[in-house]
Structure 1
Amino acid sequence: MKPVLKQLSATLKGAGSSIRLIYQSTASCNGLSEVATQTGDKTSGSYWDDAGTELKCDVDTTAGHIPDIGLSDVYASTCDGVTVPATGFKDFHGPVQVMTFVAPPSSRESSISAEAASVVYGFGGTGTVVTPWSDKTALFQRPDTSGTRRMIGKAIGLQISKWNGTEKSGSGDVLSAVHTADATNPNGGLGILAADYADTNRAGTQSAVKILAFQPKGSSCALLPDSSSTSFDKVNVRSGKYTIWGALHLLTKVDGAGVPTNPNVKTVINYFTREGLDAAAKKTMIDTEVAAHTIPWCAMNVKRDGEVGDVQSVAYQPEEPCGCYFESKAQGTAPSTCKACTADTECGGSNKCRYGYCEAR
């Protein structure tokens, strides 16, 4: 989420706010735990100056500087040992994030099933083997507190303590390792990455990897998150057909009405929930979230209430749909089915002109 936070810092400054965002990098479950227990174990962080340059800073946790917001890829219930008090805290949701399996760019493999992935990472190439993923040193994973590993673990039915493979501390390390495996074991290399890293490093880039189509349990075919390996439209995520996705979670302290107790925190979270924002600020946040390879909720057609659970049986209808605008930003052009507009009267019926395109409501 660092690119989103960087842009949000600039947006806050442009709106005349004195709020300064400080980002402390840690695994999802740790971020939730520190807010839920009101403790902090990180003494350094990053922030952005007025020119957008990332700078480092020291945080004195002994002076009571406890994190205000816990960012996570997963629900607290997905984390071991993380209990959020029943009152006094709330989990707000940001944009949808997508998790993927990736292989070296010249790998012959194009897909992986939930069952195969469970065996590959459950046995780590020892004993029961799924060809070609038989070399533990070429199977890369994240620590057990990682939201990426935990969400994917839910999707493939593999307990977090049962994972095998070569553990890498960060997503950048997994990316580098999978890319490097292209020269030593291209067909046996496998890793797990969120779409921000995977999309930014597809074939043709310096640290290229290949996103594998995923076949969930009970499904007859595997699908990519997008309509093709060269697309960024996330149509299969937005329709619920690609299953490894979930909202960004923002945990913070709230009052009895569910409102953040810190007014600065409320201001920041409002940018993610869009509460009280004008059209220009909403558009800026959509642009920012799309640029970070996440999906604004206004572009989604399904919703779920649990970790990699069933999508709601009734299609999700955002209050202010932005599917056409999302694709115009993610793909560079809107689908031919989208009608450009400048006013509601050009759309007909109950359709509305939103962000330059006619939407269904």
Structure 2
Amino acid sequence: MRNDLLVASAALLVLGVPVTAQAAPCADLPNPVYLQVGDTQEPLMKRLGQKLRENTPNPITIIYKTSGSCTNIDAIYNGTLLTTNPSYVPSMAEMPTWDPSQPSPTCDIDPAGVDLDVTNSNVFIDACTATPMPMGIAAFTGPVQPYLFVVPEASTQTAITAEEAYFVFGFGAAGQVEPWNDEAFMFIRTTTKSTLISMAANIGVPPNKMKGMPFDSSSQVLNAVSTSVSPEKTIGLLGAEIYDQNRATVNALAFRTYGQSTAYYADSTKDSFDKRNVRDGHYSIWSPTVYLTHVDNQGNPVNANAGYVIDLILGNDVMPEPNFDALDVVVSGVKLVPNCAMSVQRASEGGPLSGYCPPEPCGCYFDSKLGTPADSCVPCTNNDACNGGVCRHGFCESR
């Protein structure tokens, strides 16, 4: 292995307990869409939801509950009702000082329960269940979510190999990998959570065999890692969307997967946000985000507003056209990787990577927001400057 406090209020504001303003009935909120998502997607719910509340052409209220990916799949497969008071994203008129770094307020759910419009898995569905998808349900693949091994700021550790992670999390103390040989300082997620499922698949450990202290939420892992009394022995698992908002409190480890000779960060450097090594296949711990909803016989979402929300997350065109750039929310706002910025793909959880050419690439745009565009990225306002390519999101793309 290679060597190269405070979560307090700031982190808790990002991921803490929802605030309770004067709770209104959820049904009274304008155009409500009810979602149950993984907690790594809560930043997206907040940022997209804030834009949607102010989206004059089609104002929508995101009402959401967080739970594990496998639980979310099961909920829509079996028609589980939402019965506990969920969080929602307020409008500027309701809460002028609210922003997505703060906990969301809650609304009062109908005591009889409410049908979920959308659920979310942040791993491939078959990583959770072999049950065939029920009739009337469809899955839509969204942006890529990387996952990370993280350590406290005070730790001197900078990287981990797949072999080391296999023995650390597959055998715990018996794995005898220094310094991560004390299960009391190995902070993981429970077995329904995408973070654990994805990372377990990438190191070859069955999810139910992962050693460590399991936590239900990302915020609990973040807090446990950042405030550990034994920094050198401490290691945890986090989604990159959570890590990227809390880099001041924990560090990510570079990861060398099986067959590689070098460890890589998810980004091109420790301090960058460009997800370059995810996008080109050097960093292997990532999964798709998947959105499930009820559809009609033609495969169209039954709830048009639910379909509108899903299409915005996926980067599809919608009508009416929103008064904001949804791709910018996904990229700049929460630093997920849209499929249009990927050059690799996979077909199963932790499976082999293969080359990918997105039908409508946006790599130059992505780099312009979170990295440095290549010299070949030509700014444009129309196709005339693109020599046979296509002007997309302000840059010439190959097609």
TM-score (norm 1): 0.89
Question: 1:133: how far off?
Answer: 0.4
1:340 corresponds, among 379, 383, 388, to: 379
Corresponding position of 2:392: 354
SS in 2 for 1:56: coil
Structure 1 unmatched runs, 5+: none
1:57 corresponds, among 69, 92, 107, to: 107
Separation in 1, partners of 2:111, 2:337? 34
TM-score (norm 2): 0.81
Please report the RMSD computed on the Cα atoms of aligned residues, expressed in angstroms.
2.2
**Does 2:310 align with 1:272?**
no
Q: How does 1:196-215 map to 2 (within 5 A)?
A: 196-202=241-247, 205=248, 208-215=249-256
Corresponding position of 2:32: none
SS in 2 for 1:145: coil
Separation in 2, partners of 1:17, 1:335? 36
**Does 2:117 align with 1:75?**
no
Separation in 2, partners of 1:128, 1:9? 44
Separation in 1, partners of 2:238, 2:323? 28
Question: 1:41: how far off?
Answer: 5.6
Question: 1:34: how far off?
Answer: 0.5
C-alpha distance 201-337 of structure 1, shift in aligned 2 (>3 A): farther
**Does 2:346 align with 1:299?**
no
Q: Deviation digits for residues 86-141 of structure 1, max 9, x if unmatched?
A: 5321111111111011111232221111121121112222x231111011111100
Question: 1:61: how far off?
Answer: 5.8
Question: 1:344: how far off?
Answer: 2.1
Question: 1:75: how far off?
Answer: 2.1
**Does 2:350 align with 1:308?**
yes
Separation in 2, partners of 1:156, 1:232? 24
Separation in 2, partners of 1:169, 1:75? 20
C-alpha distance 152-28 of structure 1, shift in aligned 2 (>3 A): same
Separation in 2, partners of 1:6, 1:114? 34
1:165 corresponds, among 178, 193, 212, to: 212
Aligned residues: 348
C-alpha distance 343-76 of structure 1, shift in aligned 2 (>3 A): closer
C-alpha distance 142-257 of structure 1, shift in aligned 2 (>3 A): same
Corresponding position of 2:370: 330
2:296 corresponds, among 255, 273, 281, to: 255
Q: Deviation digits for residues 220-251 of structure 1, max 9, x if unmatched?
A: 22111111101111111111221111211111
Separation in 1, partners of 2:270, 2:320? 33
**Does 2:330 align with 1:289?**
yes
2:201 corresponds, among 154, 162, 174, to: 154
C-alpha distance 334-281 of structure 1, shift in aligned 2 (>3 A): farther
Aligned 8 A contact 1:36 1:83 in 2: no
Corresponding position of 2:24: none
Question: 1:195: how far off?
Answer: 0.3
Question: 1:272: how far off?
Answer: 2.4
Corresponding position of 2:230: 185
One-letter amino acid matched to 1:357: F
**Does 2:76 align with 1:35?**
yes
Structure 2 unmatched runs, 5+: 1-40, 99-103
* Runs ≥4 residues deviating over 6 A: none
The worse-fitting range, judged by mean Cα deviation, of 301-310 and 234-243 is 301-310
Aligned 8 A contact 2:159 2:263 in 1: yes
Question: 1:18: how far off?
Answer: 4.8
Question: 1:352: how far off?
Answer: 2.2
Question: 1:145: how far off?
Answer: 0.8
1:128 corresponds, among 175, 186, 198, to: 175
Q: How does 1:88-99 map to 2 (within 5 A)?
A: 88-99=136-147
C-alpha distance 218-149 of structure 1, shift in aligned 2 (>3 A): same
